[in-house]
């Protein structure tokens, strides 16, 4: 594994005293399928260390997703109302704020994560929600942009949340979704891809951009570190809801 390697450009700058091995041990638990309640208890426990741990992993998804959305967003960024789904401690809103966005609502299943996000005082509204199991607590066509970053993967948020993301987006609004493309997540990724394509074929949204990222984050197990690579890969999808779709 790649302990001691330089951080790739754009990775979070916070320092951390935790070793890569410690973080790998902890994080590998999240990628193994457990029941949703157990998963959220894991996140409750991880919340206080989450940001320093993802720094050790060179996790770049929040800044990559924020840049991707900012590069295509049309209209006034300062007036845009953004829904950050699976917001965690608020890294995505932080990155969006650095790019001029300022109105955020957040959803997450973990009370521990939500409490950390609340302390950042970035979100006008934060709600607890079991994603994929219940409707999102939001009106249809409400948000100018909806993001879900670092949470669509095997053992985390099921793909059944995706039509809900589309429902709460304004006609003509943007959606940004990420997933990992490492071996253990390939089945999930192919299911997700089918659903994304199906929604496009039905004329509900159009693909704006797909950004493949080789160095998504450091691998958390030997199994994931295929071919001696220290990093696993990921992908960012950017869609625009069809302006004439009114749900």
Ligand X SMILES: C[S@@+](CC[C@H](N)C(=O)[O-])C[C@H]1O[C@@H](n2cnc3c(N)ncnc32)[C@H](O)[C@@H]1O
Residues near ligand X (CB under 6 A): 36, 39-40, 43, 61-62, 86-88, 91-92, 108-110, 113, 130-132, 149-151, 156-157
Q: Please, which residue, 108 or 144, has the CB nearer to ligand X?
A: 108
| Closest to 161 measured CA to CA, from 185, 200, 182, 191 | 191
| Closest to 219 measured CA to CA, from 189, 182, 190, 187 | 182
Q: Distance between CA atoms of 13 and 246, rounded to whole angstroms?
A: 42
Q: Please, which residue, 130 or 245, has the CB nearer to ligand X?
A: 130
Q: Please, which residue, 144 or 217, has the CB nearer to ligand X?
A: 217
Residue 62 CB, nearest approach to ligand X (Å): 5
Residue 105 CB, nearest approach to ligand X (Å): 14
Residue 246 CB, nearest approach to ligand X (Å): 27
Q: Please, which residue, 145 or 172, has the CB nearer to ligand X?
A: 145
Q: Which helix (H) or strand (E) holds 176?
A: strand 169-180
Residue 84 CB, nearest approach to ligand X (Å): 7
Token duo for residue 116: 């950390």
User: How many CB atoms within 10 Å of residue 198?
Assistant: 12
Residue 115 CB, nearest approach to ligand X (Å): 11
Q: Please, which residue, 98 or 243, has the CB nearer to ligand X?
A: 98
Residue 91 CB, nearest approach to ligand X (Å): 4
Distance of CA 222 to CAs 21, 183, 216, Å? 11, 12, 16
Radius of gyration of the chain (CA): 17
Across the beta sheet with 169-180, the strand order is 125-128, 103-108, 81-85, 143-148, 169-180, 231-241, 205-218
Packing angle, helices 36-46 and 111-119, rounded to 10? 40
In sign, the C-alpha dihedral spanning 182, 184, 188, 193 is positive
Q: Please, which residue, 108 or 154, has the CB nearer to ligand X?
A: 108
């Amino acid at each position: 594994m790649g302990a001691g390697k330089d951080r790739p450009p754009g990775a979070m700058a916070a320092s951390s005293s935790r070793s890569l091995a410690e973080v790998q041990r902890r994080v590998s638990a999240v990628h193994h399928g457990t029941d949703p309640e157990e998963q959220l208890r894991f996140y409750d426990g991880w919340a206080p260390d989450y940001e320093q741990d993802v720094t050790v992993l060179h996790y770049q998804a929040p800044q990559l997703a924020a840049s991707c959305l900012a590069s295509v967003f049309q209209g006034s960024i300062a007036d845009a109302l953004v829904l950050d789904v699976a917001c965690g401690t608020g890294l995505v809103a932080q990155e969006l704020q650095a790019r001029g966005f300022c109105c955020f609502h957040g959803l997450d299943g973990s009370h521990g994560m939500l409490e950390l996000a609340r302390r950042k005082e970035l979100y006008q509204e934060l709600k607890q929600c079991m994603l994929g199991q219940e409707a999102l607590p939001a009106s249809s066509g409400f948000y100018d942009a909806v993001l879900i970053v670092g949470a669509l993967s095997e053992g985390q948020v099921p793909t059944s949340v995706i039509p809900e993301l589309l429902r709460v987006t304004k006609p003509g609004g943007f959606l940004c979704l990420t997933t990992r493309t490492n071996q253990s997540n390939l089945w999930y990724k192919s299911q997700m891809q089918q659903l994304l394509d199906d929604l496009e074929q039905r004329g509900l949204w159009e693909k704006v951009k797909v950004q493949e990222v080789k160095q998504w984050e450091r691998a958390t197990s030997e199994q994931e570190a295929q071919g001696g690579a220290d990093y696993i890969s990921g992908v960012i999808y950017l869609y625009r809801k069809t302006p004439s779709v009114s749900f």
